[in-house]
Amino acid sequence: MNRTALIQLIRRKQSFLCVGLDSEFSKIPTHLLNCDDPIYEFNKQIIDATIDLTIAYKPNLAFYESQGLKGWQSLEKTMQYLNRFKDDVFTIADAKRGDIGNTSRLYAQAFLDPFSDLNFDAITVAPYMGEDSVSPFLSYEDKWVILLALTSNKGAFDFQLFQNSEGKKLYQEVIEKSARWGNSGNMMYVVGATKAEMLADIRQIIPDHFLLVPGVGAQGGSLAEVAKYGLTKDCGLLVNASRSIIFASSGTDFAIKAREEAMKMQQEMKILLSRDRS
């Protein structure tokens, strides 16, 4: 999905919601455990309940890899199901890959190649090893790299906010340098919602790039604050919510409750998108 199609999707659905499919097996509703593939059945019902409200889905690979071969099969089936709706959803592999060039080339092939079993639209990548670890992911047309920039976890303070003698923080250096590797049509950045006030500074560096913003919902980030500092005339945001939506209920009504939570966010997003940002 290219930038134009993504913007059109956001405008059509009046939403910039990304639902994180962090489908932890121990939290799957018990009535699904008798299914042949409980994780896939859970994902499918979440997707069916929210697909008209969200523009993206983001499986976090840890929750699938931890289940071994069965987990990979659940992920593959989930992606096969999502790929039926290619014009209606943007798919993100939350894989946080990043290695030497030859290894990254194979990671890119596994997750982004149109002929792979997964065929995601985008993948999250860690930039620590530099340009040659990121560039293989940028070689696929109409696919996206989502680079970790400023995350919402406590450990972000260990490195990302380190300041040099000139007063520039490490995350700012990462954004400035990496923005030259790609462009606003194939690279996004992860910026945590709990760092929303820093979005204004980030927009000074990358005014047109899309930002993937986790941390709204269970982590306590404010959607209004994120929009205040990060929203652009083309939206420029994908705001992710995971646990607050998919685990809104652990009962047989889990999909209904997930829809209710997704609709609350989508309705707020609709209002935010209606404001003039020209």
58 with 18: CB under 8 angstroms?
yes
- Beta bridge pairs of residue 60: 94
Phi, psi of 149 (to 5 degrees): -120, -60
Residues 134 and 97: their CA atoms lie apart, in Å, by 9
Q: What amino acid occupies position 96?
A: K
Q: Is 39 left (phi over 0), alpha (psi -120 to 50) or beta?
A: alpha
Q: Mark out the alpha helices in the chain (DSSP H runs).
A: 3-13, 38-50, 62-65, 68-82, 101-112, 131-134, 156-159, 170-178, 199-205, 223-230, 243-246, 254-273
Other C-beta atoms closer than 10 Å to the C-beta of 171 total: 25
C-alpha of 45 from chain center: 19
CATH of region 3-273: 3.20.20.70
Pairwise CA distance, residues 152 & 233, whole Å: 25
Catalytic annotation, pick one of 77, 96, 169, 270 = 96
> Catalytic site residue 96?
yes
Please list the pLDDT of the chain residue by residue as tens digits (278 residues): 999 999 999 999 999 999 999 999 999 999 999 999 999 999 999 999 999 999 999 999 999 999 999 999 999 999 999 999 988 999 999 999 999 989 999 999 999 999 999 999 999 999 999 999 999 999 999 999 999 999 888 888 899 989 887 888 999 999 999 999 999 999 999 998 777 788 999 999 999 999 999 978 666 678 999 999 999 999 999 999 999 999 999 999 999 999 999 999 999 999 999 986 65
What residues have CB less than 8 Å from 272, skipping those under 6 apart? 223, 224, 227, 231
Domain residue extents for the chain: 3-273
Map tokens 């790299």 to a residue: 145
